[in-house]
Amino acid sequence: MARLELNGLTKRYGDFYAARNVTLDVAQGEFVVLLGPSGCGKTTTLRMIAGFVEPSEGSVSIGGQRIDRMPPWKRNIGLVFQSYALFPHLTVAQNVAFGLEMRKLPKAEIASRVHEALQLVRLEHLGDRLQRQLSGGQQQRVALARALVFHPDVLLLDEPLSNLDAKLRQEVRVEIRKLQKSLNLTTVMVTHDQEEALTMADRLVVMNEGEVRQVGTQRELYEHPADSFVAGFVGRSSFLDGSLETAERFRSRGGLEIRCRGEETGPAVLSLRPERLTVASANQDGLDNSFPGEVEFVSYLGGLIDIHVRLSGQDLVIAQIPNREDGFQPNVGERVHVGWTAGAASVFAGQGPRDQEM
């Protein structure tokens, strides 16, 4: 087990960059999640670490040793595939033993380590089963045992939970995270599910169009997104297009004058987290910003309620308010006032992501 370093890792197909200049340092025992929409380069990056895709440029090192020119079978990396990729003609125990046999361990040691690994995932009683006799969750655990049994330097997880049903996914998240911590495994997981990423990671890497957009903890990404893509992808945001007239004043396309904390003046996009907005029946004088608007849509989420409010012809925001008995709960068509502090908004230079929510 060791530190994993990616340096300027790039994969080019003709003019197309599947991954571009990916640089990342994963500390011993750290759980890093590569997060992004499909086609963002996260899987390509993972496959370059595993050795199935040859990088066009850049390097991959484990424990200071370069491995990017090694074939996959020499890398000592554990990988859990999205489809699990269990060998259908082998039993559970034979599947788990495969990596140890390849390392030419004595038979007795293989047997005891297979048992140990299956105990780790609580499947020691199913060693004689075939893949088709297992449930999805069991297959997933076998795949995990198979990837861990040979003590890999690095563990890679390729959307390991996407084939499980929602309830099981919650449990397995916690289980994988606990296991990873107790074994102190350097781990990289790929997912497009932000909730999964947020619950499991020590650090997240947000990717889009082959490039790393931001690396940071959950809080850093959520509170201080580097750009409007991250703001839209990690958590939800409402985006208002417009321009910064001064560092403190943003004018939206719909003509709203918003107090904020920006930097350079010029075309910009203002992003607002739904839960940082308050909705009231009257003007909210205590806040830096308060605008009247009409409720366009209300979605009831149980503990929370989403309220879509149109502030002008071009400006629409979503506010999320707690569902409380005594709370203010407007209906569609009602006039309300939406307010927020100057520090609640993030301002990015350039255009907003038009394909995002809203």
Partner 1 sequence: MGRWLLKGVAGITLLYILLPLIFVTWLSFYRQEIPSFPPEGYSFRWYEAILDNDRMVDGLLLSLQLGVLATAIGLALGVPAALCIARFRFPGREMLNNLLLLPLVVPGVVLGTAIYIFHVETEIATGLPIIGSLLGLVTAHILIVIPWTVRLVTASLAGFDRTLEEAAMNLGANRWITFRRVTLPGILPGVVAGAMFGFVVSFGNLEMSLFLVGPGRTTLPIAILQYLEWKIDPTIAAVSVVQIALIAGAMLLTDRFVKVSRVV
DSSP code string of 288-325: SEEEEEEEEEEEE-SSEEEEEEE-SSS-EEEEEEE--T
Rounded to 10°, the helix 136-148/166-183 angle is 20
Neighbour tally for 53: CB within 10 Å: 17
Nearest distance in Å: CB 94, partner 1? 10
The phi and psi torsions of 212 (rounded to 5 degrees) equal -80, 125
Neighbour tally for 59: CB within 10 Å: 15
Nearer Cβ to partner 1 (99/232): 99
Q: Which two tokens stand for residue 251?
A: 């004018």
Q: Where are the alpha helices (DSSP H) in 40-193?
A: 42-50, 92-102, 107-120, 136-148, 166-183
Nearest distance in Å: CB 102, partner 1? 3
Nearer Cβ to partner 1 (97/204): 97
Nearer Cβ to partner 1 (71/313): 71
Q: Which two tokens stand for residue 341?
A: 């502090």
Tokens 């979503």 -> residue: 318
Nearer Cβ to partner 1 (59/82): 82
DSSP β-ladder status, 289-300 and 335-340: antiparallel
Nearer Cβ to partner 1 (33/149): 149
Are 156 and 180 contacting, i.e. CB atoms less than 8 angstroms apart? no
Residue 37 exposure: Cα atoms within 13 Å on the Cβ side: 8
Nearer Cβ to partner 1 (133/281): 133
Nearest distance in Å: CB 53, partner 1? 11
Neighbour tally for 32: CB within 10 Å: 22
Nearer Cβ to partner 1 (86/256): 86
Nearest distance in Å: CB 83, partner 1? 6
Are 295 and 332 contacting, i.e. CB atoms less than 8 angstroms apart? yes
Residues that bind partner 1 (CB under 8 A): 50-52, 71-79, 81, 83, 85-89, 98-99, 102-103, 146, 150
Nearer Cβ to partner 1 (56/76): 76
Nearest distance in Å: CB 82, partner 1? 8
Nearest distance in Å: CB 65, partner 1? 17
Neighbour tally for 203: CB within 10 Å: 18
- Closest to 10 measured CA to CA, from 51, 54, 74: 54
Nearest distance in Å: CB 13, partner 1? 14
Nearest distance in Å: CB 297, partner 1? 42
